[in-house]
Chains A and B, each alone.
Chain A
């Protein structure tokens, strides 16, 4: 287990470094710029230099902060994302933590991140941080509903397929919440759930953008309004822990998207984990692409969009899915 934890930490660190680099490159290319080119080949070592800078920086604790909350918040933002990554099946045999309720756990760890953000905002004793945290909580709680509902329609499909699900010695019992079973259901039928559930896939993707506080839903840390949102008062390594959590959250939601809709490790020729990560990074590329395309939503637009469009559509999608499965099952 310590080895696995070390592997995950190493993987996530490299992932964050590469994602920040990729984000800067993609944004530069979309705006017809060049991005980092100076440090290392293609500027690849730029983010490593940034990370070294952040690590060596002084940790400033403002005098009027709520000290326990302020110190705990970065750790609480950081720990659940690492835990959530361990649940994912990178291939049929590469699963660090086998769990029958993997999908629920991933969402539960996402919920802890909201708590950390609110702790950071409240503990900082800063109006911008608090406003950012309030927005973040309102947004994350709202968007968790369509996110889970869209995932739930996939779970229904997996459950409907469960009588035909074979694994090794024979048929397996599944509750539809085990991440590797979700992938196996797609693998064995040779069809990705994005074809069964296109609406759920789109709703999932939009809600995932909001869950990770990415543009166009980045109002919790809207630079032009709130300085930096909930992590305004954080410096050095504490800030980089939030940063780490944010980019790892991107990886988690895109890995979950790959598991739910794009067939996980399923793919020809190449080994499973490679397919898994290729697909994940393709989803992340789309997230970056979206970020550099759309302007930030206003807060009321954000809420209207969630409650009037995403939630009704996802409930409808779930009902239709359940109805079709029931009809076909008889």
Chain B
């Protein structure tokens, strides 16, 4: 290929390069296919397996979380980002958490708190707006549960009272059955004694 061939070849390759960018241009302008996500106006579609900082699970049956403020997560957390407190609640036997705060800035998403939770009430959330506005920024994980806490306590009290009543009824029934059995045994023994008053051998000893 001579000099002019090279020049012409170079020119053609320039044009083919330009056709590539023009196709992209046309696709964006006429196909309206910009890849930009206008973030505050439209939100990203997160992957199903997206995992971010923890949250408390809302269980269907109780319409609330099941945290008993055991502090296992606070103790195991390697970055000390969980702060929680709680304890006995008036009216029910179950302990409840009163304050559960997270520092998202410190959390490294290790997931140890999820593994250690005895009531399995923690899970990964899909919250990606984790930025804080000052150094001591804390996120209150209980915020969405506070309105339902009284309801939960009332429900829990009913459940516990019912459970206690059932237990009592069962215990009474068992006691009654036991007494009945005892009475029957005594009766049987008395009858046996009447039939053979002396030198009797119980059949089980013979065998």
Contact = CB atoms under 8 A, between A and B. Distances in A.
Interface of A: 26, 28-34, 37, 202, 289-290, 292-294, 309, 313
Interface string B99-127: 00000000000000000000000000000
Interface band, chain B: 10 to 19
Contacts of A309: 7
B16 to A, nearest CB: 10
Given A32-B27, A32-B33, A34-B34, A202 B21 contact: no
B134 interface: no
A119 to B, nearest CB: 34
B203 to A, nearest CB: 95
Contacts of A26: 25
Contact of A30 (B14, B28, B35, B38): B28
Contacts of B48: none
A293 B20 contact: yes
Nearest to B34: A34
A289 B11 contact: no
Given A202-B11, A309-B7, A313-B7, A32 B28 contact: yes
Interface string B13-37: 0100110111011011100011110
The winner among A30, A202, A290 for most chain B CB atoms within 10 A is A30
Given A34-B36, A202-B11, 15 more contacts: A26-B25, A29-B24, A29-B29, A30-B21, A30-B25, A31-B24, A32-B24, A32-B33, A32-B35, A33-B28, A34-B38, A37-B38, A289-B22, A293-B17, A293-B18
Contacts of A294: 14, 17
Contacts of B11: 202
Contact of A33 (B17, B18, B22, B34): B34
Nearest to A293: B21
Nearest to A216: B14
A188 to B, nearest CB: 31
A33 B36 contact: yes
Contacts of B29: 29
A184 B113 CA distance: 83
Contacts of B21: 30, 289, 292-293
Contacts of A30: 21, 24-25, 28
Contacts of B24: 29-32
A243 B45 CA distance: 40
A105 B29 CA distance: 39
B35 A33 contact: yes
Contacts of B18: 289-290, 293
